């Protein structure tokens, strides 16, 4: 349970908007001794929207292009329904035994541990940490691509389109890694509220620019491109069409990874009313807003480019002008990912450091901290710990090296992302709900829930298969550490 506690403490810091706010005349603490929670359905939905809308949104136009005007929007809608439903199941299990007065589960892993136990806890733990590690690699690759897009844009306009502007990804990944090594040494990184606000603004900035450019492109041409069945067989082979359809489902599934953070956000809500009822309202709001945004970006991106829709609207050079606006969008992506990388890596950092402290309780290497005499602007006093310095630096270096070896953003995020959706978004929430609500085995409700789990697992396997096929194609023209765009 050491890792559970570590993750618990981390996420409570990330999403607890009420930690330092206590209404006048009221008690300062909740029934469990923690600072009084003041979150509402609106604050929770805001956390979910800003945390989930990320660079993967920019690949939804490509996903829609592979599936077509019928299957594309339908898949987006069905994934949203499944995500909303499983999120409500998980929200109902925030408190064990009694939804109003039962013991709280502060994190996703707490909910799994208190309801399932045994091997399922271990499996979930490793899937969660692998998913976090996958996000770190994916975000490293995505940030380098955005940095290169800015440089390519400048090169392209300086040469009038004559220079192919091939740029290596390695220096940009190293630059991103250097920034992460410095930021990872901040023990209280997640309490820097101004940086999370900046990241949220950046997220909506590049998402809005991508959507706006798609709408402008359609308005300029005066017609909607694309077909009912997606990219034509004349453009790709029948086999490629199948693999790409599976990959498109992977992009959509990855964009709907809500339950990964749902329990942590729910732990910020005040009661009464019960946290489960408030969270259901917040989930409905966030899923509705996110799905609307996904639909608009996916559909207008496809309508603008048809079969030629790029894998990323802002870095695939689907748009060339206005180049300054594209540069702003790509800079916004990099700023957002600098923060997001740290948010997703903190649970891994906390788990390793807490485990090391338990194994070596008397070691100065793991315990002693060296504090600066003067505060660093925006970061308060800086505290250096040798274990944190060595371990976190090695972790960042590992993610950078893997990113340079496999610089395929879409392929990397799909593989583990597919299992993340099938297991973390659907399977475990369903299993937790069945155990906590004591649903009889082989009953109609039990059978319906199991069918849902199996169906999503089959989709996940199909996505992984298609993603591996895509990686094989990419590897045919790939040389380690010599990738360029």
Q: pLDDT at position 189, please?
A: 52
Q: Are 196 and 355 in contact (CB under 8 A)?
A: no
In this predicted structure, the answer to whether residue 379 has a pLDDT above a threshold of 60 is no
Q: pLDDT at position 25, please?
A: 41
In this predicted structure, the answer to whether residue 449 has a pLDDT above a threshold of 90 is yes
- 53-63 average pLDDT score: 80
In this predicted structure, the answer to whether residue 349 has a pLDDT above a threshold of 70 is yes
Q: Which band of pLDDT confidence, cut at 50, 70 and 90, is reported for residue 9?
A: very low
In this predicted structure, the answer to whether residue 3 has a pLDDT above a threshold of 70 is no
pTM for the predicted model, two decimal places: 0.76
H or E element that contains 450:
helix 444-475
Mean pLDDT of all residues in the chain? 77
Range among 35-44, 265-274, 349-358 rated most confident: 349-358
Which residues are within 8 A (CB) of 327 and not within 5 positions of it... i.e. 6 or more apart?
150, 153, 154
Could you say which DSSP state residue 59 is in? G
Locate 391 and state its tokens: 């371990």
The closest of 265, 349, 277 to 16, measured between CA atoms, is 265
pLDDT in tens, 463-474: 888 777 777 776
């Amino acid at each position: 349970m050491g890792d559970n506690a570590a993750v618990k403490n981390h996420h409570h810091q990330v999403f607890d908007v009420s930690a330092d706010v206590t209404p006048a005349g009221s008690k300062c603490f909740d029934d469990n001794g923690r600072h009084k929670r003041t979150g509402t359905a609106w604050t929770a939905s805001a956390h979910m929207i800003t945390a989930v809308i990320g660079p993967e949104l920019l690949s939804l136009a490509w996903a829609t292009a592979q599936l077509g005007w019928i299957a594309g929007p339908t898949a987006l809608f069905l994934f949203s329904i499944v995500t909303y439903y499983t999120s409500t199941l998980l929200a109902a299990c925030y408190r064990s035994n009694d939804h109003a007065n039962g013991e709280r589960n502060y994190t996703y892993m707490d909910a799994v541990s208190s309801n399932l136990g045994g091997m399922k806890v271990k499996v979930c733990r490793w899937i969660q940490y692998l998913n976090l590690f996958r996000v770190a690699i994916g975000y490293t690759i995505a940030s380098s691509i955005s940095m290169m897009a800015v440089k390519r844009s400048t090169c392209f306009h300086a040469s009038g389109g004559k220079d192919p502007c091939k740029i290596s990804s390695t220096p940009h990944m190293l630059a991103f890694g250097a920034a992460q090594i410095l930021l990872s040494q901040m023990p209280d990184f997640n309490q820097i509220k101004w940086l999370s606000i900046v990241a949220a603004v950046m997220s909506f900035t590049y998402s809005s620019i991508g959507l706006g450019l798609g709408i402008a492109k359609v308005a300029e041409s005066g017609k909607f491109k694309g077909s009912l069945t997606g990219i034509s067989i004349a453009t790709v082979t029948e086999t490629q069409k199948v693999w790409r359809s599976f990959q498109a489902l992977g992009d959509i599934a990855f964009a709907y990874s809500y339950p990964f953070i749902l329990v942590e956000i729910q732990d910020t809500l005040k009661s009464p009313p019960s946290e489960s009822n408030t969270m259901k309202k917040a989930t409905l709001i966030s899923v509705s807003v996110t799905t609307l945004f996904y639909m608009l970006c996916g559909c207008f991106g496809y309508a603008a480019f048809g079969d030629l829709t790029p894998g990323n609207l802002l870095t695939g050079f689907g748009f060339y002008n206005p180049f300054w606006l594209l540069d702003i969008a790509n800079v916004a992506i990099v700023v957002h990912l600098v923060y997001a990388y740290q948010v997703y890596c903190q649970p891994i950092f906390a788990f390793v450091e807490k485990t090391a402290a338990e194994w070596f309780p008397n070691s100065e290497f793991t315990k002693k901290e060296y504090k600066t005499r003067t505060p660093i602007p925006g970061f308060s006093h800086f505290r250096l710990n040798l274990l944190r310095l060595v371990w976190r630096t090695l972790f960042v270096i590992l993610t950078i090296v893997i990113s340079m070896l496999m610089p395929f953003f879409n392929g990397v995020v799909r593989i583990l992302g597919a299992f993340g959706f099938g297991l973390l978004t659907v399977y475990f929430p369903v299993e937790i709900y069945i155990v906590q609500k004591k649903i009889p085995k082989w009953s109609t409700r039990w059978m319906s829930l199991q069918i849902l789990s199996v169906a999503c697992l089959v989709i996940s396997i199909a996505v992984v298969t298609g993603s591996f096929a895509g990686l094989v194609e990419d590897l045919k023209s790939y040389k380690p550490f010599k990738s360029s765009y």
